[in-house]
Amino acid sequence: MRHVRFRDPAGSVRTGEWTDEGIVFAGETYDTDEVDVLPPCEPSKIVCVGLNYADHAAEQNSEIPDRPLLFLKPPNTLAGHGDEVTLPAGKERIDHEAELGVVIGTQAKNVAAADAMDYVAGFTCVDDLSNRDDQRKEQNWIRGKAFDNAAPVGPVVATPDEVPADASVKLWVNGELRQESSRAEFIFSIPELIEEITSYLTLEEGDIISTGTPAGVSPLADGDVVEVEVEGVGVLEHAVRIPE
């Protein structure tokens, strides 16, 4: 099943099921183009993983880490399917990063890897937008990773049975394929990530783990349209606006 949050024509926020026919809620079916699709969950935080694909580490001239590299994106970074994302002005390079997002289903602390999937509600698509100008100048990456709308997410949360163990992760810019890999290429698996993260901090229901991006990251320009696809989840689409 693929769950979607949306604002109906009356302005009410609903949670329905995304189907081939449209969004189904309370016996009604809504055309996806006639409602506002919202981020599919309301995280208290997004825990992001750096360098979780060997090919991305190579393109960044970085060594493969011996433990997951973690950083946070706060709720202000959220954007949804169909949104136009306004990026910081005056930057030389703001990159797209296609990622599989893990949505937590129940509060999790000190979770063993063997039990980790019991805490997963499902999966979503994430674009970890990255302001490289400032990221390269600071250690904590607030300017580089936590600017407003730096984490488009969606369009749905797909239950784990919908998403293959080797699910593909792809990204297009204006119809051109820029990134393509697979969940099977992770350096650190989802259970390993959950075990490591929850040994330090509590994950709450709705929190997202953004599991890292494959090779092919590249800069965005004003007017670009980005599509992120995770097999079994669907396609997250957003546009880009860069003020002069």
The whole-number pLDDT of residue 203 equals 98
Q: CB pairs under 8 A, 24+ apart, for 25-30?
A: 30/6
- Mean pLDDT value of segment 144-149: 98
Q: What is the pLDDT of residues 8-37, one digit of tens each?
A: 999 999 999 999 999 999 999 999 999 999
How buried is residue 99: exposed, middle or buried, by Cβ count under 10 Å (0-12/13-18/19+)? buried
Q: What is the pLDDT of residues 105-121, one digit of tens each?
A: 999 999 999 999 999 99
Q: What are phi and psi of 194, to 5 degrees?
A: -65, -45
d(CA 139, CA 156) in angstroms, rounded, equals 32
Q: What is the pLDDT of residues 152-179, one digit of tens each?
A: 999 999 999 999 999 999 999 999 999 9
The whole-number pLDDT of residue 185 equals 97
CB atoms within 10 A of CB 39: 23
HSE of 182, CA atoms in CB hemisphere, 13 A: 6
* Residue 134 pLDDT level (bands cut at 50, 70, 90): very high
d(CA 156, CA 138) in angstroms, rounded, equals 33
- Domains of the chain and CATH, by start: 1-38 (2.30.30.370), 39-241 (3.90.850.10)
* Residue 133 pLDDT level (bands cut at 50, 70, 90): very high
Angle formed at CA 206 by CA 200 and CA 212, multiple of 5 degrees: 65
What mean pLDDT, rounded, does the chain reach? Answer: 97
How buried is residue 177: exposed, middle or buried, by Cβ count under 10 Å (0-12/13-18/19+)? exposed
Q: What is the pLDDT of residues 50-74, one digit of tens each?
A: 999 999 999 989 999 999 999 999 9
pTM: 0.97
Q: What is the pLDDT of residues 70-95, one digit of tens each?
A: 999 999 999 999 999 999 999 999 99
The enclosing H or E element of 45 equals none
Q: What is the pLDDT of residues 180-193, one digit of tens each?
A: 999 999 999 999 99
- Mean pLDDT value of segment 187-212: 98
